[in-house]
Amino acid sequence: MNPGPRSFALRSTRVVTPNGVGPAIVVIESGKIQRVESIDVELATFVVDDLGDLVISPGVIDAHVHINEPGTNWEGFETATRAAAAGGVTTIVDMPLNSIPVTTDAIALAEKRSAAAGKCWVDVGFYGGLVPGNADQLPALIEAGVLGIKAFLCHSGLDEFPNATEQDLRAAMPLLARAGVPLLVHAELLTLSSPAVTDVRSFSQFVTSRPEQWELDAIELMIRLCREYRCPVHIVHLATSTALPIIAAAKQERLPITVETCPHYLFFDGTKISDGDTRFKCAPPIRTGEATLLFGGLLDGTIDTIGSDHSPCPLEMKSIDTGNFSTAWGGIASVQLTLSAVWTFLGKQGCHDLSLLSRWLAVAPAELVGLAHRKGKIAPGYDADLVVWDPDPTWTIQGDELFHRHNVTPYDGFTVSGKVTRTYVRGNLVFADGVHREQPIGQMLSRTPTKVLRISVAERINSWSEQAAREAFENCCAAPGWIEQMLKRCPFASDAEVVASASEIWWSLPREEWLAAFAAHPKIGDLESLQKKYRSTAGWASGEQASVAQARNDTLRDLARYNREYEERFGHIFIVCATGKSADEMLALLESRLSNEASTELNIAAAEQLKITLLRLEKLAA
């Protein structure tokens, strides 16, 4: 049997820690990193394995993998995780489609976990899926521990996983925002017709059949919705550099948006892809001349992570014999190759920064999927997920020597730099010198959501008379049109339907309705009028501005002064969801928003009003 984690230490002249790269000893006990010591410290009670100049990096976290089990023979947990371990990957996160059933409810998630049990060589997490009509399933998926929710904005290639519409996104994003769970988006939106394909073997025609504008329009939509809901949004597999400016601008706004690109968009830039070579088919497609610009996006932080988008299939599904890009499955098998492929690309760019490499392959992915408290760093208290590798040797990839189930990969025959020597998962040595150790020890990972609406909200609303429901809705939002439409939607089948209806109705209202809702609020800091306006919910209202009661007199005077200036400029009072914010934080927000254009500020105020409304809807169950 594979021994469990024990007490030992690894010494190297190149250890990648949060403080940089340098000589160190990594001390491991019971599967955790106990401490990181100076390289010359004597450790009498630990066996120290001297690795010389080999690099010790945090294990790669691949947050974009299609394992395709249960229900297909496309890959599977055993082969995918064996390949991952051989490539220095210690955690993978499985996408919710290409399996039967797709992971769009908690029952399907349980089936997937059952299929994975006892087969995984590395730790595995799971995403749930957003498809039309399943927003009411998201709370159960989130509570079951999914690491994120995945949606397509175009056809996924599978009828059982149709693309989400803007209405579906609006139904889901308030829930995800409340839970602090990211929405991962395949960002291609079919907003314009693509050129007709006259030669199904032509790679260039395949590329032009999926225009860059599809990516741009999809990303612009997601930025707009992210701005409205403040839901964490993660754009997967960015392939076009033309989107970088709008993403950078969104990040300047401090919107919770992150971006991934993939090794194949970097590594194959400049490669002459032959007509009929369907091994290279993926969506979005690989475009010439993009890699250097995408690399710039990685360097400046516009792009956060690199994920393999490992999407294998049997040989016959790639239409290798006909070279038909129209019928070939789109996807690239590569989970074993990410570290070497990215390191090789970086070398061609003149970059040999091991800290940056770990940032893109470990630290940022851990942050994305809610595992940053235990994975992604070589630091005390973290899981001892480590890859020991030599960045210098070159080797030629042979598809039939990889551990994926199927050996179809466009990397076949290419020479790369960087060779994995060992992989440790929570202190367990799972791969060493080309051999897997005895048995799989991977665990299934869950995310703890920050908060999720409970079903009792819908049940409580449904139990009331029309008059009682009207009064409750008035306390949540004073826009008459919103109240009437919410009453018409009763009864509600679930909390997701309550949230979706509240959001959809709010954003459909004219400006006058928004202003009516704003007018019902007191000015920030005016606690006495707050309680007068909301007599039946005085506890809620004072709680929402609780920090103001302890504010300094000079802060209160500044709030009053800027409130007057704001109202004169925009014609309505300053609206902010004050829950959890200090008086000084609200003052800073008020001052910063005074410089906005009127239309921009109106939309920000509307988004803040919706946050307040959703918070108060939840309190109806209290």
For helices 553-570 and 598-619, what crossing angle results, to 10°?
120
pLDDT higher for 342 or 582?
342
| pLDDT beyond 60 at 501 | yes
pLDDT of residue 529: 47
pLDDT of residue 315: 92
Burial of 515 (0-12, 13-18, 19+ CB in 10 A): middle
pTM recorded for the entire structure: 0.75
Instruction: For CATH 1.10.3330.10, list the domain ranges present in the chain.
Output: 457-620
pLDDT of residue 560: 83
pLDDT of residue 178: 87
pLDDT of residue 497: 83
- Mean pLDDT for 235-256 is 97
Find, among 131, 122, 183, the residue nearest to 162 by Cα.
131
- Give the contacts of 433 (CB within 8 A, at least 6 positions apart): 421, 422
Pick the CATH number of 457-620 from 3.10.310.30, 3.40.50.720, 3.90.79.10, 1.10.3330.10: 1.10.3330.10
| pLDDT beyond 70 at 139 | yes
Q: What are phi and psi of 593, to 5 degrees?
A: -80, -10
Residue 180: how many CB atoms within 10 A of its CB? 17
pLDDT of residue 523: 73
pLDDT of residue 543: 46
Q: What is the pLDDT of residues 392-431, one digit of tens each?
A: 999 999 999 999 999 899 999 999 999 999 999 999 999 9
Instruction: For CATH 3.20.20.140, list the domain ranges present in the chain.
Output: 58-378
Find, among 384, 312, 296, 308, the residue nearest to 341 by Cα.
308
Residue 270: pLDDT band with limits 50, 70, 90 = confident
**Where do runs of H (alpha helix) occur along 446-597?**
456-463, 466-476, 480-489, 495-508, 511-519, 527-533, 538-544, 546-549, 553-570, 583-593
CATH class of the domain comprising 58-378: alpha beta
pLDDT of residue 526: 53
- Mean pLDDT for 116-129 is 97
Q: Which of 199-203, 314-318, 358-362, 456-460 is predicted with the least confidence, judged by mean pLDDT?
A: 456-460
Q: Which residue(s) pair with 8 in the sheet?
A: 28
Q: What value does the mean pLDDT of the chain take?
A: 91
| pLDDT beyond 50 at 225 | yes
Instruction: Please give the share of the chain, as a percent, with pLDDT higher than 90.
Output: 74
Structure tokens at 494: 């679930």
Residue 533: pLDDT band with limits 50, 70, 90 = very low
Q: Which of 208-217, 244-253, 348-357, 552-561 is predicted with the least confidence, judged by mean pLDDT?
A: 552-561
pLDDT of residue 534: 38
Burial of 456 (0-12, 13-18, 19+ CB in 10 A): middle
